[in-house]
Amino acid sequence: MTICLAHNDQAEIVKEIVDRTIRKVYPKYYPEEVVQFFLDWHSLPHIEKDITEGRVWFVLQDGKIVGTGTIDGNTITRVYVLPECQGTGAGSAMMEHLEQEIFKTYDTVEIESSLPAVRFYYRRHYVPFEHMEHQAPNGKILPYDIMRKTRTATVSVNQKISFRTRTADSVRIYFEKVQDPEIRAVLPQKAQTVEEALADYDKTLEPGASSFGLTILVDGRYIGDIWCYGIDPEEEPNAMLSFCIFDKASWNQGIGTEAVAAFLQKATAKHGLRSIGAFTFADNMASRRVLEKNGFLLMEEFEEDGRLSCYYQRKAAVCRDRRISDFSSPLFQTAFQQYFTEFGITVQDWNGLFHEMNEEGDNEAILRTAEDDSVIGFIMFRPVKFTSWFFEEICGFIREFWIAEAYRNQGHGASLLQMAEDRFREQGICTSILTTDTAERFYLQHGYESAPGCRAKNEDQVFLKRLQA
């Protein structure tokens, strides 16, 4: 089973799953007027709004969408699995995912239980706590129970930083958290009310929005926000950076530094940023250290409203990308030899290795160099066909991937990975697959998932990502 977030062009798919399931199952339990009420309630505009706010997921079996689910605050709504796929575990997989999403922020999950699903929710340890009735047309009554499940304590072994799309709910939580006097003392705040914060968030959803932000999670727990604003490739800098770890238990642990590094990779790849600025108060030493560790240089100190402030800026290296399909290229060979040398890999016959790459016929690479032709890094990839007695799939295999040490944490890795994935999409490939024993966190941050039970022949862990068209 795979769970993935729904995209704006997939509202019709959600609607079809909901309608098919309601029409097939609900007439066994409800009169015609109540069935129609459910169909009308899950309207296309409602679904589109929920998808835009990042609250709708799909469950996939063997790559096929078979179910959907939505969250609204701490409430699970619109969980439907196609009738022919019920009883296969798809509903349980979706519920498990939605519960974990909610438990990142809340201690309880609530759900309005339809009659067909009551037994299913009981098995998942939900308990009724309020009985409700809704008036349907022609005097018909829709009875239902609101059921609740309470989180049990979990223990984290290793802290893992990840990101999640901001939603209206996360904006409300963030606004409440940053009202802490200790945070307000070091964080300038534009929005003075939660309504203003939500209005600013709505602007980020508009086409051509000049901001890009994510929530920061540690072991799935929401601890802060990070964003770029004023994005304009024609201006200098191309964007401004801001971030806040509102969870004070996460301060002074290096989390801010790592989160900024990972986010900048995403923002740089997404918007092609060459330079990024950031303001902070001069006495906010924690933020200054985070910026400096991520390559920002102090450009100016100034006083504003009686407070000494700092302006930092980071510039990306000017670079050139070359598409490589002939591996006799001296520049590529130099880059590849540097890569193997760093990892202590010895090759007796370099000419034979590069000849073999050419003979295979379908290898490609993207080589990135600086202005002086020094190597920044490269990514090498190819299509690979996986077959069984019943089906076959062509996946994009990331074969080799390397960034020179001097250019790491500057967004080059994220950018090259995105270019390889775009090339897969051009070829009609829907899955990217790779192995790693050193960069698990990087790939998780860029949408890859571990493939349980799947191991490479060299015992490295396998990761895959479903690519959206």
- Please write the tens of the pLDDT for every residue from 448-462: 888 877 778 777 888
Number of domains in the chain: 3
Out of 315, 342, 373, pick the residue that ends a domain: 315
Q: What is the pLDDT of residue 124?
A: 79
Out of 99, 131, 150, pick the residue that ends a domain: 150
Asked, for residue 155, whether it belongs to a domain, the answer is: no
Any residues with CB less than 8 A from the CB of 234 and at least 6 apart, and which?
none
* Residues 301 and 167 reside in one and the same domain: yes
Asked, for residue 29, whether it belongs to a domain, the answer is: yes
* Residues 309 and 165 reside in one and the same domain: yes
Asked, for residue 448, whether it belongs to a domain, the answer is: yes
* Residues 236 and 338 reside in one and the same domain: no
Q: What is the edge-to-edge ordering of all strands in the sheet holding 141-150?
A: 2-5, 56-61, 64-72, 75-81, 108-113, 141-150, 127-135
Average pLDDT, the chain: 86
For residue 274, the SS3 value is: coil
* Residues 375 and 393 reside in one and the same domain: yes
Q: How far is residue 342's CA from residue 338's CA, in Å, rounded to a whole number?
A: 6
How many Å from the N-terminal Cα to the C-terminal Cα in the chain?
Answer: 20
Any residues with CB less than 8 A from the CB of 19 and at least 6 apart, and which?
39, 42
Q: What is the pLDDT of residue 156?
A: 35
Say if residues 55 and 105 touch (Cβ distance below 8 Å). Answer: no
Quote the strand ranges of 62-211, DSSP E: 64-72, 75-81, 108-113, 127-135, 141-150, 161-165
* Residues 296 and 431 reside in one and the same domain: no
Out of 122, 150, 178, pick the residue that ends a domain: 150
CB neighbour class for 114 (10 Å; exposed up to 12, middle 13-18, buried from 19): buried
Helix (H) or strand (E) holding 122: helix 118-123
- Check the CA dihedral 323-324-330-331 and report its sign: positive
**Quick check: bond before 27 cis, omega within 30?**
no
* Residues 73 and 208 reside in one and the same domain: no
* Residues 49 and 99 reside in one and the same domain: yes
The CATH number covering residue 12 comes to 3.40.630.30
Asked, for residue 156, whether it belongs to a domain, the answer is: no
Q: How many CB atoms lie within 10 A of CB 295?
A: 18
Say if residues 230 and 254 touch (Cβ distance below 8 Å). Answer: no
Residues spanned by the domain of 144: 2-150
Q: How far is residue 250's CA from residue 134's CA, in Å, rounded to a whole number?
A: 45
Q: How far is residue 87's CA from residue 109's CA, in Å, rounded to a whole number?
A: 23
Q: What is the pLDDT of residue 28?
A: 83
CB neighbour class for 408 (10 Å; exposed up to 12, middle 13-18, buried from 19): middle
What is the per-residue pLDDT across 143-164, written as a single tens digit (0 to 9) for each? 777 888 876 533 233 467 889 9
What is the per-residue pLDDT across 365-417, written as a single tens digit (0 to 9) for each? 999 998 778 899 999 999 999 887 788 889 999 999 999 988 887 778 888 99
What is the per-residue pLDDT across 271-306, written as a single tens digit (0 to 9) for each? 888 889 999 999 898 899 889 888 888 999 999 888
